[in-house]
Amino acid sequence: MSPFSIIPCVLSLLAFTVCVRAGHSSWERPAQLVAADSATALLEKRYFSIQPRGTYRVWPNAEIKYCFVDSDAKRRLLYQIQVGMGRWYAAGLPEDRFKLTEVSASECRNRRSEVLLISANNDGRLGTTAGLPPLDDTDPNYKGPTMELSDLTNVGMLEVTANFAHELGHAWGLLHEHQDPSYWAMPYSTSGVSNRWTFNCQNLKDYNAVAARLTPDKLEEACRNRNVAEKEKFSASQYLPILGRGRGEGGGTPDLESIMIYPSGAGATGAASPGNDGRTAILENANDGSRIPINLHPSGRDVAGILKLYNTDWGTTNPTLLNSPSNSLSAKFKNVFKKKRCL
């Protein structure tokens, strides 16, 4: 999961989009989601499944075309990206239908809005544009989809390949499982029957810095309301439920095996290294206080989510998403995700 200048995230819908550099960068960058019917970029963090306001673009023919910012990024990242994609194939995503294709530098320049531009950093930042959003006249900074990767092993899943597989899930259109509002109840959301998570806001890395500049009342609000947290550039926005655009149905069971769910320590205080996660917990299971595990491989529900997302209008540029009200299979799609969450 972090803030990026054009980075981002998402689950079952192409909720991937463009992210803007802002906020906490120790895990994933906040994602900017673009609704295709209005081309308006909305700074958004990843969550279960947005309600598209019209036709939302996925990658044509289920092929992500990509290039690297420079030769150093390619040298550092290519192998792990390929291995990360291999984990999706091993989990059941059809290799003959879902392709990652590297394109030339010239094609990358000439068709920038249709190519995923991948960069490397040494700061632990991870973020990916959700799907293939259109250009936005109101956001001149957005030129096309991006993926920002780091090969540090003390962030996220504490494993480079797993972190990259998570970002690839966003690139295909997956969102964060834990931000589905149906898994949250008051005071965070009215969608859920009960809170599935305990949210330890005080364990966020940037909590003390934010607390130093906000009043106690405003800080409490920022720890409960994602929109307020986003406005305050507070990393709580990466964990709190997305209201108004999620599927919003109570009940269901979170997919704790999903590679698209934050482990409890992601973005938290404390030191960590592979096999030694000393980070405090931000999200915990409300029922028993257990931590959300680190998942290194996509789950069956993750794969099911991508298959559902790309199972409509194959070969077209602008398929209608299965969770769009205009799609005749919308109700069945939502029922599938109620039981088989793929974020």
Q: Are 100 and 143 in contact (CB under 8 A)?
A: no
Which residues face 276 on adjacent strands?
Answer: 273
| pLDDT for the residue 28 | 62
**Whole-angstrom distance, CA of residue 35 vs CA of residue 326:** 15
**Which of residues 17 and 213 earns the better pLDDT score?**
213
CB atoms within 10 A of CB 110: 11
State yes or no: pLDDT of 319 exceeds 70.
no
Total-model pTM: 0.76
- When pLDDT is averaged across residues 202-224 and rounded to a whole number, the result is 98
Percent of the chain predicted with pLDDT > 70: 72
SS3 sequence of 80-102 = HHHHHHHHHHHCCCCCCCCEEEE
> Using one digit for the tens of pLDDT, what is the confidence trace for 253-280?
899 999 999 999 999 999 999 999 999 9
CB-facing half-sphere around the CA of 216: CA atoms within 13 A: 0
Which value, in Å, is the radius of gyration of the alpha carbons in the chain? 18
> Using one digit for the tens of pLDDT, what is the confidence trace for 112-122?
999 999 999 99
**Which of residues 332 and 247 earns the better pLDDT score?**
332
| pLDDT for the residue 56 | 56
Return the minimum-mean-pLDDT range out of 37-51, 196-210, 251-265, 288-302.
Answer: 37-51
Residues shown for the chain: 343
Phi-psi region of 302 (alpha: psi -120 to 50; beta: other; left: phi over 0): alpha
